[in-house]
Amino acid sequence: DSGVTQTPKHLITATGQRVTLRCSPRSGDLSVYWYQQSLDQGLQFLIQYYNGEERAKGNILERFSAQQFPDLHSELNLSSLELGDSALYFCASSVNGKEGYTGELFFGEGSRLTVL
Amino acid sequence: GEDVEQSLFLSVREGDSSVINCTYTDSSSTYLYWYKQEPGAGLQLLTYIFSNMDMKQDQRLTVLLNKKDKHLSLRIADTQTGDSAIYFCAERASGTYKYIFGTGTRLKVLA
């Protein structure tokens, strides 16, 4: 158990809909990362938050947005869903910046999104 | 560019050694990581190495780093069926919090 919790584990929805994926980082971790894993594209970095603020952006579509709340949990919002958005979405957390930091990311088990 | 490249598949027999390869791009000081993803699970860190090292050994795992060629390898000795998984290489430039992952290598261990 990594200590990172993601909900829901599975989600099936239709094209055009909107969903929200939730992530609770490990206790004490200030940084949250979101990744998308699809069969043909490996692990794609979407976005990173640190202590409530956006720190880095990757290949995140404009239809997607995220935020990190004061209690450090994060949500990834996916809207106007398309078939190609079907993927496994991972959240990872890290201490970032603390002394002795080696950079380990702790991953949740992922949320599997299927768009029909 | 920012590409971390890995071969997609590797198949070995139980008891043999597995060698998973990765090439990275950052030329500055960097951390390099190996993560393992078992079916239905998230990624879990196996080991990491800093770019001022050539080798790191941890039980059955040996990481070799060729800085000149920007080549990283993970050797698993006495490979077991429980080692069947996807292995990801990742790099992070020192002083940054940006990780770049490879596409993953799917290791299949044959009994």
- In the prediction, which pLDDT does B2 show? 63
Question: If you ran DSSP here, which 8-state letter would residue A28 be given?
Answer: T
Q: What average pLDDT score do residues A105-109 get?
A: 93
pLDDT at A84 (0 to 100): 94
Q: Which residues contact B49 (CB under 8 A, 6 or more apart)?
A: B31, B32, B55, B56, B63, B65, B72
Tens-digit pLDDT profile for residues B12-67: 999 999 999 999 987 677 889 999 999 888 999 999 998 888 999 999 999 999 98
- What is the edge-to-edge ordering of all strands in the sheet holding A19-24? A5-7, A19-24, A74-78, A64-68
Is residue A112 predicted with pLDDT exceeding 80? yes
Q: Collect all residues of chain A within an 8 Å Cβ-Cβ radius of residue B92.
A: 103
B95 inside 8 A of chain A by CB: no
Interface test with B, best of A43, A50, A59, A88 (most B CBs within 10 A): A43
Q: Is A45 helix (H, G, I), strand (E, B) or coil?
A: strand
According to the model, what pLDDT value does residue B92 have? 86
Cα torsion B16, B20, A100, B44 to 10°: value is: -80
pLDDT at residue A26 is higher than 90? yes
Q: Do A107 and B44 touch (CB under 8 A)?
A: yes
Q: What is the pLDDT of residues A44-62, one digit of tens each?
A: 999 999 999 999 898 899 9
pLDDT at A41: 66
Is a pLDDT exceeding 90 seen at residue A21?
yes
| Selected residue with higher pLDDT from B2 and B6 | B6
CA distance A103 to B32: 9
Spatial separation of the C-alpha atoms in residues A107 and A2, rounded to whole Å: 6
Disruptive mutation site among A105, A106, A107, A111 for chain B (greatest number of B CBs within 10 Å): A105
pLDDT of residue B25: 84
